[in-house]
Structure 1
């Protein structure tokens, strides 16, 4: 059985580490707001992340197999159309996902 001193030390160390990890983001927040690198990343990363997600989603897309590729192709058209119309990534992603799920469910099981 651990001694009371050991338990107290373990709790104190755990509390100090937890508090430090939670306080660290607030301590470095002010210098980060003035950072040119952070401004650059905030401007360019959303486009980069969306590109990576789109490429990852389309990695197995085979346009030569039209019956299986149709739901993905139509959902891609819907995503682009919704984004051009609304300029809202959430609307375009949710709309295209809904179209893809519905088409995949009914198109292939038909």
Structure 2
């Protein structure tokens, strides 16, 4: 039981140090380095592309429903987010629509 507590403590301290490191490393700088600024702009976009590809990699376009629920919801997410700029709305509403579409197409 001691090792379980020790392992949890080590994991917690390590996580805390890793999370604290950027604040310590960049605390005395008035402006972030250009590379960090570039990453802050490009990384969210890259992560979204990776998530979309991951979500649609198993779609079969050769059998019913031909990927229509997934494609419809991807388009719906893009349009809704562009229109409202609300992340929670862009997550929950298309999820509900996808579930309804899957139940009706299957």
TM-score above 0.5, yes or no: yes
Q: More helix per residue: 1 or 2?
A: 1
Greater RCO between the two (CA within 8 Å, min separation 6)? Answer: 2
Match of 1:71 in 2: 69
**Correspondence for 2:40 among 39, 42, 53:** 42
Total equivalences in the alignment: 93
Measure how far apart 1:67 and its partner are. Answer: 1.9
TM-score, with structure 1 as normaliser: 0.64
Aligned partners of 1:78 and 1:96 also within 8 Å:
yes
Unaligned 5+ segments in structure 2 are: 1-8
Residues 63 and 80 of structure 1: is their aligned pair in 2 closer, same or farther, counting only changes over 3 Å?
farther
Residues 66 and 31 of structure 1: is their aligned pair in 2 closer, same or farther, counting only changes over 3 Å?
farther
TM-score, with structure 2 as normaliser: 0.65
The whole-number CA distance in structure 1 between the counterparts of 2:81 and 2:49 is 14
78-87 or 18-27, larger mean C-alpha shift: 18-27
Q: Which has the larger radius of gyration?
A: 1
Residues 46 and 90 of structure 1: is their aligned pair in 2 closer, same or farther, counting only changes over 3 Å?
farther
Structure 1 vs Structure 2 CA RMSD: 3.0
Mapping of residues 1-110 of structure 1, within 5 Å: 18=13, 21=17, 24-30=21-27, 34-67=32-65, 69-108=67-106
